[in-house]
Amino acid sequence: MTAQLIDGTRIAREVRARVAAEVTEFRERTGIVPGLATILVGEDPASEVYVRNKRRLAVETGMADLHRHLDADVAQPTVAAIIEELAHDDAVSGILLQLPLPRHLESGPLIDLIPALKDVDGLTTLSAGLLARGRPGLRPCTPSGVITLIDSTGISLEGLNAVVVGRSELVGGPMSRLLLERNATVTTAHSRTRDLVAVASEADVLIAAAGVPHLIGAEHVKPGAVVIDVGIHRTESGLTGDVRFDEVSAVAGWITPVPGGVGPMTIATLLANTVTAARMQWEQRQLASRA
Amino acid sequence: MTAQLIDGTRIAREVRARVAAEVTEFRERTGIVPGLATILVGEDPASEVYVRNKRRLAVETGMADLHRHLDADVAQPTVAAIIEELAHDDAVSGILLQLPLPRHLESGPLIDLIPALKDVDGLTTLSAGLLARGRPGLRPCTPSGVITLIDSTGISLEGLNAVVVGRSELVGGPMSRLLLERNATVTTAHSRTRDLVAVASEADVLIAAAGVPHLIGAEHVKPGAVVIDVGIHRTESGLTGDVRFDEVSAVAGWITPVPGGVGPMTIATLLANTVTAARMQWEQRQLASRA
């Protein structure tokens, strides 16, 4: 292995420590404790684990844990009413609707009931539009976390060739946009890309977010490149990513492991978004009270 | 010259003829005449010409011309009130706020008062979010018109390398996204791109939208590529684009002229968006009346 490891577990811990300090500063300055409202519908075991971790780390960083657990057969209007109640509750800084929802619920319209200022997952249409237009707003957690990981290497993205493999709404799409904001030249590749080796091997920074186990090998990687593996797949031999770690780490300059790379960053970024949201809401209320 | 010319003037005429037929069909089926509300603030001569052309071609395609001309010193709340009135007026299918506005007005919040269903310029944050998320919605006119021009060549974008030079909110940004929807592998280059020749010369489809006269020369163009010139600049020797037409047309497979390329498509696409908007609003009212 020649690549340096990007330790997502350590960097996520550092982000959380920074968030905890910001929560303390905000609480002392304003008297407000940022609150994260998580909504879990039903009993999906993976979702239960994710939500439990989010709540635990929110509490660890000094936030209020405002959880709602809804029955698996809850009706769409009931979920909508709960989101609207949380939207109007000043104690709620961020609202997170844990996905996927049970089949009978339509997630799109429910997500869009979350006000942009409380959209700590960055998934609403308005948040996507703010990102597309380069306006201030809350950004999706996983791609934001990837930017933090790249920054941790000390490498500036300005003018670099960045290639994102994958164009999903949650990761690939916003990822490309965030890299562009950092002045990288950004290429989005995907399942219809004709010659992925040719495209990927031009990348100074390669983001593997295709959702295909072991898709990216040494032949896709320019020597010395930064390789970020967003994939996470459960296989017989354990957790693995979109990148063939052993062969790529012999070529790349920097690489994230799976697990322990992008994964831990997602929750850390969610918490960072929640304290940002609390601050934005407070500033808006100050402006409104002065008007 | 070896390149085939993409005749935007002719293709725009064809689009307008199709729009006129759709307007007739829609009027006969629903009794509704699609209406385009243009808002012009002040006396900027270029803006007056643009708005006059939009109104004239709207009328030519059978739409109602619902124009508002506001004084140069109109107050922000007055413009806001007019947009909100048009937003609630069922006779108005599309609302177009002609930019740029006089300095004392803030365009962003005014544009975002236009409902997504009437946003025929595709410029609101919500429309940008719908595009970013790949959801149905009205798309910005210039990049949509470029897609129509590419389609006119008979070349399928699927799997091709497309390079967009420029990342503006109005053109470059949405252009990249529309090319991605057509399954091209899309690279966004810009002023910070280190080696534009290397990046651009990989393109099967090259979109010049940098706003820099004569930026793109033969060295940027892969033999046989489709070259679309979005630039339009007034120089001493007449109108010119971002592309050095003479030398590039000796290399490219297809090329748009300036003028007579992308320019005429923008209004044609605006009219197409307006009839689409009328149809979407009608369908929504039908749904609402049944509920």
Q: Which of A188, A195, A220 to mutate to test the interface with B (most CBs of B within 10 A)?
A: A188
For the stretch A98-109, what's the b/e string if a residue is b when 16 or more beta carbons lie within 10 angstroms of its beta carbon? beebeeebeeee
Of A126, A134, A189, the CB nearest to B169: A134
pLDDT above 70: residue A121 = yes
Q: Which residue of B has its CA nearest to A124?
A: B129
Q: Which of A121, A204, A229, A242 is catalytic?
A: A121
For A188, the closest of B126, B169, B186 (CB atoms) is B186
Output the pLDDT for position B1. 67
| pLDDT of A1 higher than 80 | no
Write down the catalytic residue from B4, B7, B44, B54: B54
Q: Cα distance from A169 to chain B (closest Cα, Å)?
A: 6
Selected for mutation to probe chain A from B130, B186, B197, B220 (highest A CB count within 10 Å) is B186
Q: What are the 10-residue block averages of pLDDT along chain B, 291 residues in total?
A: 94 98 98 98 95 98 98 98 98 97 97 98 97 96 98 98 97 97 98 98 98 98 98 91 97 98 97 98 92 73
Integer Cα distance of A94 and A54 in angstroms: 12
Nearest to A185 among B124, B183, B187 (CB): B187
Integer Cα distance of A92 and A2 in angstroms: 46
Residue A8 has pLDDT above 80, yes or no: yes
Distance from C-alpha of B204 to C-alpha of B199, rounded to nearest angstrom: 11
Q: Which domains does chain B have, with CATH numbers?
A: 30-117 (3.40.50.10860), 141-262 (3.40.50.720)
Please give the pLDDT value at position A237.
Answer: 84
Residue at B14: amino acid letter: E
Contact across the interface for A125 and B124, Cβ inside 8 Å: no
Q: Measured between CA atoms, how close is A238 to chain B, in angstroms?
A: 32
Chains A–B, number of C-beta pairs less than 8 Å apart: 95
pLDDT band at A31 (very low <50, low <70, confident <90, very high): very high
B286 tagged catalytic? no
**Using CA atoms, how far apart are residues B23 and B61, in angstroms rounded to an integer?**
7
| Mean predicted lDDT score pLDDT of chain A | 97
pLDDT at A11: 98
What's the 3-state SS for chain A?
Answer: CCCEECCHHHHHHHHHHHHHHHHHHHHHHHCCCCEEEEEEECCCHHHHHHHHHHHHHHHHCCCEECCEEECCCCCHHHHHHHHHHHHCCCCCCEEEECCCCCCCCCHHHHHCCCCHHHCCCCCCHHHHHHHHCCCCCCCCHHHHHHHHHHHHCCCCCCCCEEEEECCCCCCHHHHHHHHHHCCCEEEEECCCCCCHHHHHCCCCEEEECCCCCCCECHHHCCCCCEEEECCCEEECCEEECCECHHHHCCCCCEECCCCCCHHHHHHHHHHHHHHHHHHHHHHHHHHHHHC
Residues of chain A contacting residue B186, judged by C-beta atoms under 8 Å apart = 187-188
Question: What length does chain A have?
Answer: 291
Annotated ligand binding at A167? The verdict is yes
Average pLDDT over residues A31-44: 97
Q: What gap in Å lies between CA A269 and CA A140, rounded to an integer? A: 9
Active-site choice (B121, B204, B229, B242): B121
Q: What is the pTM of this model?
A: 0.96
Element (H, E) at B131: helix B125-132
Rg (CA), chain A: 19
